[in-house]
Amino acid sequence: MDTRRRNLPLFLLASFIFGLKTYIVYRFLFQIEIDNALQEFIIFINPFIASIIFLGLSIWIERPERRLAFIKYSALIGTLIIYFNLLFYRSFTDFLTIPQLFQTSNFLDLSTSIITLIKIYDILLFLDVFIIWFLCKKVDVNDIKANSRRTKSFALVIFLLLLTGNFLLAEVERPQLLSRGFDREYLVKNIGIFYFHIYDVFVQSKMRSQRVLADDNDVLTISKYINDEVRNDKKSELFGVGKGRNVIFISAESVQSFVINNQLHGEDITPFLNSLINHEDTFYFENFYHQTSQGKTSDSEFLTENSLYPLSGGAVFFTHAQNDYHAMPEILKSENYESIVFHANTNTFWNRNQMYESFHIEQFYDKDFYDVTEVNEIGWGLKDKEFFTQTIPYLRELNQPFYAKLITITNHFPFELDEGDRSLEPYDSNSITLNNYFPTVRYTDEAIEQLFLQLKASGLYDNSIIIIMGDHDGISANHNKAMASYLGKEEITPYDYLQLQRVPLYIHIPGYGKGEIMSKIAGQIDLKPTILHLLGIDTSHDIYFGNDLFHDDRKGFIVQRNGNFISDDYIYTNNTCYDRKTGDIIAVEGEGREKETPCSPIKEKVNQELEYSDQIIYGDLFRFIQFEEN
């Protein structure tokens, strides 16, 4: 009795304090959507159940000082896990995964961005740790006795009942929850951050085994799906229109479509990109969506070069850089194209130095190739105008035809720009991030206009196809309140937020003269077949999940990595099926509501595509294929 009076109350008190802190973070710092009373109940009880189970493991530790140390350090480690996830969430509205923890080469480059995410009040998140440490210090270890076998058995039964109850409630609220690992918010909402990380370890271990178990039969199944559901081997009207031309691909950092043809302070935000929309040589895709996940710019590159989906957790550039791929540069090489990337950042960031080799990119002009000074440098490398200016001489030296990708930097979080470089004043809202976003977007717009003039002066313009694409979103859901204010809305609904994932895509073909605004839905997955077809390159033996954007007969939906999608008629997000054109809710899935909606048939295909793409990556399936002899 004495043991339980002195030991269990401390362990339970520590669990209550830590659980309360965790609940506050879930409910008020993570912007997790709560749709019903059951979700509210689950997200309330989960922190306390997790705390009781994890801190309760101290019952099995015999030595009193080690038992107290376990409680103290468990609280500290648990708090650090929560805090690192919070910092990550503030930037990406997402949760950390195991693969991201191994992206250590990015940490130094991210240091400036991380500092901007830290808030003064964050110190309060460690208050419970100080309290728990203080309580442990007040305990006399001589009064703590070993727990009996009966006590341990009783605790084990209680813990298993609590854990089972938590997971049963989660399964009732979200059937087949653990098979939907691509939706991390639902996992955290229903099982909590700690169980999510344990689940993530299990998933990553399972994925590692897929390469060992994979064989060429998997390729045949996927190839059949692509032939039946994705590929259209009929040639579009623009097939071969750019044969023999250079391809200059501008990856516009964090540029979203909401700034295009929009104003701030009575001025156009992107005057040059606006003017390019109606240019006779330009195709502008107004419903083009980024499809990146945690890999951000590297995911964008992976999508465009391979027409495969990125992974739901981490970045393929880190986790599977040694795979065999059949990327666009490899295909272009067989057509005598030289493939080059220009990016004034370190070559190890996003592990590009390794992944580019797997893509058969022949040269990477990284930061070492540029004259970077205190004047022309911005947090991540060269400012865009200087970057383009210093890149032009390299472009002129290349053998033609070439495929050159130019990756900009200035419009990168935290969107800092010297006043002398601003030609548009910041917005005025409660979000510093959104406020500063507008001047950096304007700067990138001006830099791209400058590049067009430089390409003309260098003689490269007329014999090139110039592609401008926003690589991913720059404004996360954490800034929805400020975004709603700017857009003149009462709030940003899940439908609105998915529409904000549109990024600009321009395909500019000098001298073509028949450009137009393209309204059909499109995504980054479509770039590979589109570019290759423009160059007159046959892709009938390739494996990819995109469509030629100049072909009318397409599969009709664009997939987000978390399982959301946009189709010709519907938008599916947050468990809800919307009318794409009006934004009206058509149906909501879930308990007590419709389980089959107009979105359901497309949703099955979406999940199938994501699964097949994952199989290709995790199983390294292209190692079984000789594409040249296919």
Query: How far is Cα 24 from Cα 16, in angstroms, rounded to an integer?
Result: 12
Contact status, residue 622 vs residue 578, Cβ threshold 8 Å: no
Question: Any idea which residue has 């691509």 for tokens?
Answer: 182
The catalytic residue among 22, 297, 304, 410 is 297
**Residue 297 annotated in active site:** yes
Contact status, residue 271 vs residue 289, Cβ threshold 8 Å: no
Q: How many helices (H) and strands (E) does the chain have?
A: 20, 19
Strands 522-523 and 288-289: parallel
Structure tokens at 37: 């009373």
Question: Any idea which residue has 């990406």 for tokens?
Answer: 92
3-class DSSP state of 179: helix
CB-hemisphere CA count at 13 Å for 255?
30
Close Cβ partners of 184 (under 8 Å, ≥ 6 residues apart):
94, 95, 97, 196, 312, 313, 562
Using alpha carbons, select from 616, 590, 578 the residue that is nearest to residue 309. Answer: 616
Contact status, residue 234 vs residue 250, Cβ threshold 8 Å: no
Q: What is the DSSP string of 504-553?
A: -EEEE-TT-----EE-S-EEGGGHHHHHHHHTT---TT---S---TT-S-
In the 3-class helix/strand/coil scheme, how is 142-159 assigned residue by residue? HHCCCCCHHHHHHHHHHH
Structure tokens at 465: 């196809």
376 burial level (CB within 10 Å; 0-12, 13-18, 19+): middle
Catalytic positions: 297
